[in-house]
Amino acid sequence: MTQFIGVIGYSLKHSVSPDFQQAALDYYKLDVRYEAWEVKAENLVSAINRLRQPQNLGANITVPYKETTLHLIDEVDDFASLVGAVNTVVNRDGKLMGFNTDAYGFLKALRDDARFEPENKRVVILGSGGAARAVGFALLQEKVSSLIIANRTLAKAESLAGSLAKYAANNKMNTEIAAMPWQSSKLTEAVGNCQLIVNCTSLGMKRSLYEEESPLASDSIPKDALIYDLVYNPSETPLLRMARGAGANTIGGLPMLVYQGAASFKLWTGREAPLDIMYSAAKQALLRTGG
């Protein structure tokens, strides 16, 4: 019997997950199809329930359903509960288990590709959506020395900083945590003093209204910091172009995308993901879509 995995989101026009996940499944000659399941909000509950059917191994969950899905499944692992979002659902005999592999992907790319060790480092996170929450908790658990959260909607930055501070206090951590207003002088100062800046906003994303925009001005980018942009299409965003111009180290979102997908692949199939194959399939798919 052919089995199925899908990515559930809306819209999925530019998703490359089907390309690189199918390449990995084909590498192992598994009789499994990975499909794009574009689902409107009113159909989300039935789409999630369908995952319980025996032919379905599970799904990736993407924007805008990572938070809602958490409440529609049977069990959620500790890290996904902490973040408040699942990006991977696994069907175990009709029972749906939720995981968040974004943080794993983020940290693996940070260490293996950017060669950056986060412990005791000063960090600025730009954005406060689902990705920023995963990145924030991942960095906190890695014991960074400070975490500044800035977001266009300040209330969301304050809420994320509050959740992180509560976790830090409960776990007797010394990380300094603060929210700052978007494009404020306080933020410019914090950016100038930090060692890692992570863009978790969608600014710079291809085929969006903000394709040409950067969350930071070029003269505010410190040359000694690592600039990490989660946006993976295009491979060099306006922020990364400016950072390269300023002499800073940079990393884009593609390695994270592949690593989070690789962790999901292992959860569904129990097999080690063929990273090189996934990488080249993702790159080809991005080239095809003009990335």
Nearest approach, Cβ of residue 94 and ligand NAP (Å):
29
Q: State both tokens at 272.
A: 């080690």
Q: Is 221 exposed, middle or buried (0-12, 13-18, 19+ CB in 10 A)?
A: buried
Q: Which residue is nearest to ligand NAP (CB)?
A: 129
Cβ proximity to ligand NAP, 87 vs 91, nearer residue: 87
Interface residue list for ligand NAP (CB under 6 A)? 63, 102, 105, 127-132, 151-153, 156, 200-203, 205, 210, 230-232, 253, 256-257, 260
Cβ proximity to ligand NAP: between 57 and 85 the closer is: 85
Q: Which ranges of 31-174 does DSSP label H, i.e. alpha helix?
A: 44-50, 66-69, 78-83, 102-108, 130-141, 154-170
Q: Which is nearer to ligand NAP, 105 or 274 (CB)?
A: 105
Q: Which of 198, 72, 95 is nearest to 142 (CA)?
A: 198
Q: Cβ neighbours of residue 23 under 8 Å, at least 6 residues apart? A: 274, 277, 278, 280, 281
Active site residues: 66
Q: 3 or 208, CB closer to ligand NAP?
A: 208
**Residue 54 or 162 having the CB closest to ligand NAP:** 162
Q: How far is the CB of 161 from ligand NAP (least distance, A)?
A: 13
- Nearest approach, Cβ of residue 257 and ligand NAP (Å): 4
Question: CA 192 from chain center: how many Å?
Answer: 25
For residue 287, the minimal CB distance to ligand NAP (Å) is 17
Task: Indicate the residue among 255 and 274 with the shorter CB distance to ligand NAP.
Answer: 255
- Cα distances from 154 to residues 85, 149, 284, in angstroms, run 20, 9, 38
In angstroms, give the least distance from the CB of 3 to ligand NAP: 25
Contact 212, 235 (CB under 8 A): no
Closest among 244, 279, 239 to 259, alpha carbons compared = 279
Q: Tell me the angle at which helices 254-269 and 275-288 cross, rounded to the nearest 10 degrees.
A: 130
Decide: helix, strand or coil at residue 211: coil
Residue 125 burial by CB count (10 A; 0-12/13-18/19+): exposed, middle or buried?
Answer: buried
Cα–chain center distance at 111 = 15
